[in-house]
């Protein structure tokens, strides 16, 4: 049971890490575009 549980936990952890990094890079991209448009307005 423990041998079967560890790969699932590692897969969930890796999936959560990809989602977490995706959210961070997504927010950074949105902020970068927002500053770029804001600087063009001024």
Please determine, for residue 37, whether its predicted confidence score (pLDDT) is greater than 50: yes
Residue 6's pLDDT is what?
64
**CA dist 40 → 2, 12, 33, 35, 37 (Å):** 57, 42, 11, 9, 5
Six-digit token pair at 41? Answer: 């307005």
Q: How confident is the model at residue 1 (pLDDT cuts 50, 70, 90)?
A: very low
Residue 38's pLDDT is what?
87
> pTM (2 decimals)?
0.51
pLDDT tens-place string over residues 6-36: 667 677 778 888 999 999 999 999 999 999 8
């Amino acid at each position: 049971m423990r041998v079967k549980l560890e790969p699932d936990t590692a897969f969930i952890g890796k999936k959560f890490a990809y989602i977490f990094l995706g959210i961070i890079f997504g927010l950074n991209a949105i902020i970068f575009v927002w500053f770029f448009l804001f600087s063009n307005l001024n």
